[in-house]
Chains A and B, each alone.
Chain A
Amino acid sequence: MPKPSIAERLDQGIEAMLGFGSPPSPADVQVQELLRIAAELRALPRKEFKENLKADLQRSSQMPTTTVSFIREGFHTVTPYLVVKGAAEVLEFARQAFGARELLRVKRPDGGITHAEFRVGDSIIEIGDANEQFAPIPCAIHLKVEDVDAVYERAIRAGATSLFPLADQEYGERAGGVKDSAGNHWYIGSPLGETHFLPDQRSVTPYMQVEGAPRCIDFLKRAFQAEEVMRHQTADGIVRYAKIRIGDSVLEMGEAHEPFPAMPLNLHLYVPDTDAVYRQAVAAGATSLREPVDEPYGDRSGGVRDPFGNTWWIATHIKDVQF
């Protein structure tokens, strides 16, 4: 029987080193020398590790030395972002109906709105005109106000259509719902008696109507470390209503049903480390829309769509920029 080639003998030794088969003869000096090199290669880092760490370090080195909060001033962890046809009309409607105060408006050359921000009560809402890249995403928002009757009345006068009339609800809220010209839902309510509103719940709470609410809650926990604060569920597992906390913000959720079909949200989410949360969201089942990049407006931001159709613009504020 012919002697195996040196490549064969070497592989036999490698197999033994990896825990299979028997070691080659110690007298095979040439093989032993290569095996020592092979043994050292067992300690090599993963191929992508060096580049990934370099990229992480480069990001940290570009962070400004003066500390800025990872949430832009005036914002909270979660902010609804309305992408609509006719952003200017929605802004005017919010001004008339809810006393919204416009904070920023960046116009397109054709007069449309690239990006605008307005304040309602203690919260900010962002808005922009839909375009070829971004299709309209009307959202549902729960507005907490002091005098729901007056606000509901003003909303109707400002051009909204009623979704449901004003009524005292047994869960501790007097509420009415309207739809604006762009299709956004506004559920307007004032606390009543023993209310479901949390003590720190702000004026604006995004309301997520989804198909498969329990799975959506699980996703939010895995992707964004969400905390489930409240869940009302029927005996057959339908989530009628849930409150979810992410960072300093509260989200509300209900299983989609007639006449309120699924209405995914478009949300701006501030986190301490965009890249880490982006990766976490993708690992939890979200689809990448855009990998994180440094934006000229001072945020590092990336986008994902979750399996329930909600869009999340994950961001870390890295420097203050004067608009």
Chain B
Amino acid sequence: MGWHFPGEHVEGSKEADERLLVEAAQVDPARFADLYESHFERVYAFIAGRVCNRAEAEDLTAEVFRQALQNLGRYEWRGVPFAAWLLRIAANAMADRWQRLAREGEAPPELPDEAAREDIERRALLFQLLGTLAPDQQRVLVARFVEDKSIRDIGQELGRSEGAVKQLQFRALQNLRARIRRIHPTPKPNAAGGRRAHA
């Protein structure tokens, strides 16, 4: 049997559900949206852990899903999770890009090992959990870490004092930590190393 994400192999019904999703999308490509929703964060987290800027991570993620949609008919279950198939496409896409750009001295990305897979899974979960926070908490984290806004600018946008924005930022991160711990009790931060997309 091929490798799996932590927790995936023990849940037979989840595997069966995903198999149904894949088969439905193979018959009707419009159903691909369900697979996209299940795997977006995972694919993005894998790529973002290995490329040096956000634009490149987004570009590669788009390429992976376009290729997956195009080649969905060629995917055969045979016990290999759909996530593994997607990450294989991602690894190939990154290797192609590395080769085209001839990045001397840099090793092309490979498929993740067990420790790296846990790291990807945890980061994907983190990205998903962000969407479960209260809207003002989501906003402060996106403004701060994606849009690179200062506390003062965020305060002006939200009509709050700088102290209140710092409190909001603290509560948002604290909530995220609590939610991750509930679902993923053994965090292994920075297991994969590598570079992160943040430009």
Residues of chain A touching chain B, judged by Cβ–Cβ distance below 8 Å, are 6-8, 10-11, 14, 18, 33-34, 36-47, 49-50, 53-54, 56-58, 60-62
B190 part of interface (Cβ distance < 8 Å): yes
Q: Are B123 and A40 in contact (CB under 8 A)?
A: yes
Interface residues of B in 142-162 (CB under 8 A from A): 142, 144-146, 148, 151
Q: Are A41 and B33 in contact (CB under 8 A)?
A: no
SS of B interface (majority): helix
Q: Are B170 and A6 in contact (CB under 8 A)?
A: yes
B198 part of interface (Cβ distance < 8 Å): yes
- Taking a contact as CB atoms closer than 8 A, the residue among A8, A10, A45, A62 that contacts B173 in the complex is A10
- Taking a contact as CB atoms closer than 8 A, the residue among A7, A33, A40 that contacts B169 in the complex is A7
Q: Are A42 and B66 in contact (CB under 8 A)?
A: no
Q: Are A43 and B54 in contact (CB under 8 A)?
A: yes
Instruction: List residues of chain A with CB within 8 A of the CB of B88.
Output: none
Report B154 CB to chain A, min CB distance, Å: 11
Q: Are A41 and B58 in contact (CB under 8 A)?
A: no
Contact A49 to B33, CB < 8 A, known contacts A38-B173, A42-B198: no
B127 part of interface (Cβ distance < 8 Å): yes
Given contacts A46-B58, A49-B58, A57-B36, 9 further A-B contacts (CB under 8 A): A10-B173, A11-B170, A40-B189, A40-B196, A41-B141, A45-B58, A46-B146, A58-B32, A60-B66
Q: Can you spell out 21 A-B residue pairs with CB atoms less than 8 angstroms apart?
A: A6-B170, A10-B166, A11-B151, A36-B189, A37-B173, A37-B177, A38-B145, A40-B126, A40-B189, A41-B130, A41-B141, A43-B123, A44-B127, A44-B142, A45-B44, A45-B58, A58-B33, A60-B29, A60-B66, A61-B30, A61-B33
- Taking a contact as CB atoms closer than 8 A, the residue among B58, B166, B177 that contacts A8 in the complex is B166
Q: Are A43 and B49 in contact (CB under 8 A)?
A: yes
Closest to A6 in B: B170
Contact with A along B43-76 (1 / 0, CB 8 A): 0110011000010011001100110010000000
Residues of chain B touching chain A, judged by Cβ–Cβ distance below 8 Å, are 29-30, 32-33, 36-37, 40, 44-45, 48-49, 54, 57-58, 61-62, 65-66, 69, 123, 126-127, 130, 141-142, 144-146, 148, 151, 163, 166-167, 169-170, 173-174, 176-177, 180, 189-190, 196-198
A220 and B148 alpha carbons, distance in the complex (Å):
35
Report B73 CB to chain A, min CB distance, Å: 10
Closest to B139 in A: A47
Q: Are B145 and A41 in contact (CB under 8 A)?
A: yes
Instruction: List residues of chain A with CB within 8 A of the CB of B144.
Output: 14
Instruction: List residues of chain A with CB within 8 A of the CB of B169.
Output: 7, 10-11, 14
Instruction: List residues of chain A with CB within 8 A of the CB of B58.
Output: 45-46, 49, 53
Instruction: List residues of chain B with CB within 8 A of the CB of A41.
Output: 126, 130, 141, 145-146
Report A162 CB to chain B, min CB distance, Å: 56
Report B28 CB to chain A, min CB distance, Å: 8
- Taking a contact as CB atoms closer than 8 A, the residue among B45, B54, B69 that contacts A57 in the complex is B69
- Taking a contact as CB atoms closer than 8 A, the residue among B66, B69, B145, B174 that contacts A34 in the complex is B174
Closest to A35 in B: B173
- 6 closest A-B pairs by CB: A61-B29, A42-B198, A7-B170, A43-B48, A41-B145, A34-B173
Closest to A50 in B: B40
Closest to A39 in B: B196
Instruction: List residues of chain B with CB within 8 A of the CB of A7.
Output: 163, 166-167, 169-170
Instruction: List residues of chain B with CB within 8 A of the CB of A57.
Output: 32-33, 36, 65-66, 69
Instruction: List residues of chain B with CB within 8 A of the CB of A36.
Output: 189-190
Instruction: List residues of chain A with CB within 8 A of the CB of B166.
Output: 7-8, 10-11
Instruction: List residues of chain B with CB within 8 A of the CB of A11.
Output: 151, 166, 169-170
Q: Are A56 and B62 in contact (CB under 8 A)?
A: yes
A10 and B165 alpha carbons, distance in the complex (Å):
12
Instruction: List residues of chain B with CB within 8 A of the CB of A44.
Output: 127, 130, 142, 145-146
A18 and B153 alpha carbons, distance in the complex (Å):
15
Report B167 CB to chain A, min CB distance, Å: 5
Closest to B65 in A: A57
A34 and B173 alpha carbons, distance in the complex (Å):
6
Contact A58 to B54, CB < 8 A, known contacts A42-B145, A45-B61: no
Instruction: List residues of chain B with CB within 8 A of the CB of A61.
Output: 29-30, 32-33, 69
Closest to B169 in A: A11
